[in-house]
Amino acid sequence: MASCEQVGGNKHNAGELSIAMPMSDPPPVPDGFRLTLDTDPPMAFRASLGQAINAFHDQTVPFASSRFALELRDQAGGLAGGLTGLMSWGWLFIDAIWVRADLRGQGAGSALMARAERHAAAGGCHSVWLDTFQARAFYLGLGYSVFGALEDYPNGQTRYFLRKRLAGAGLDKPDTGEYEAAD
């Protein structure tokens, strides 16, 4: 079970405003309704909530999305890396990317990102966004820029939000979905 705790004093950078708000009684629930807390919500509830949010968005900005995955496998068929992404509203969100430790620094992560960007551009996306607390320098090296940060998430770390505009030669070519190692 996850929880939120304050550890130590308030941390903030110079120039930031930090306001401690006292905990107070929450506003009352409207008459005839009941509010409950579930610390382990079932997938069915999460799916229903997502569908309700998407139906609300559809009133002004229709929602359509497409998920995809890229798998990097070694010669024995073992997972050596991978990426999952979600394309919606003209953006690609990089949901997850991982490369096996022995392949890091050899271009596998860059190849996964390039293939994802190419697939997204072919699917009509104009930009990519993602978040990370461990690999900011990697993404900056790929041309991404920071547009936000969340300090102490996880504790002692900063989660960075990065984006990149998709443009350039070759991104408008159809994506066949098949990729082989460069010779």
Identify the CATH number of the domain in which residue 69 sits: 3.40.630.30
DSSP state of 138: H
In this predicted model, what pLDDT tens digit does every residue of 1-21 receive, in sequence order? Answer: 455 554 444 444 444 555 666
Position 16 scores a pLDDT of 54
Q: Could you report the per-residue pLDDT of 66-112, keeping only the tens digit for each?
A: 999 999 999 999 999 999 999 999 999 999 999 999 999 999 999 99
Q: Which residues pair with 98 in a beta bridge?
A: 82
What's the order of all strands across the beta sheet hosting 127-132? Answer: 65-73, 79-88, 91-99, 127-132, 158-165, 145-151
Band (64; pLDDT cuts 50, 70, 90): confident
Q: How confident is the model at residue 127 (pLDDT cuts 50, 70, 90)?
A: very high
- Residue 150 binned pLDDT confidence (cut-offs 50, 70, 90): very high
| Predicted local distance difference test score (pLDDT) of residue 4 | 57
Asked whether residue 171 is assigned to any structural domain, the reply reads no
- Structural domain includes residue 176: no
pLDDT (0 to 100) of residue 11? 47
Pairing of strands 158-165, 127-132: antiparallel
| Statement: residue 181 has pLDDT above 60 | no
- Domain membership flag for residue 79: yes
Q: What residue type is 166 in one-letter code? A: L
Q: Rounded to whole angstroms, how far apart are CA atoms 80 and 103?
A: 8
pLDDT mean across residues, the chain: 86
> Could you tell me if residue 156 is inside a domain?
yes
Strands (E), the chain: 65-73, 79-88, 91-99, 127-132, 145-151, 158-165
Which DSSP symbol is given to 104?
T
Q: Work out the pLDDT band at 142, boundaries 50, 70, 90.
A: very high
The proportion of the chain whose per-residue pLDDT surpasses 90, expressed as a percent, equals: 72
Bridge-based pairing of strands 127-132 and 91-99 is parallel
Burial of 16 (0-12, 13-18, 19+ CB in 10 A): exposed
Would 15 be classed as within a structural domain? Answer: no
Range of the domain at 142: 43-165
Q: Count of domains in the chain?
A: 1
Please give the DSSP secondary-structure letter assigned to residue 21.
Answer: P
**Has residue 157 been placed in a domain?**
yes
Does residue 101 lie in a domain region?
yes
In a domain, 177, yes or no: no
Query: Using CA atoms, how far apart are residues 60 and 174, in angstroms rounded to an integer?
Result: 30
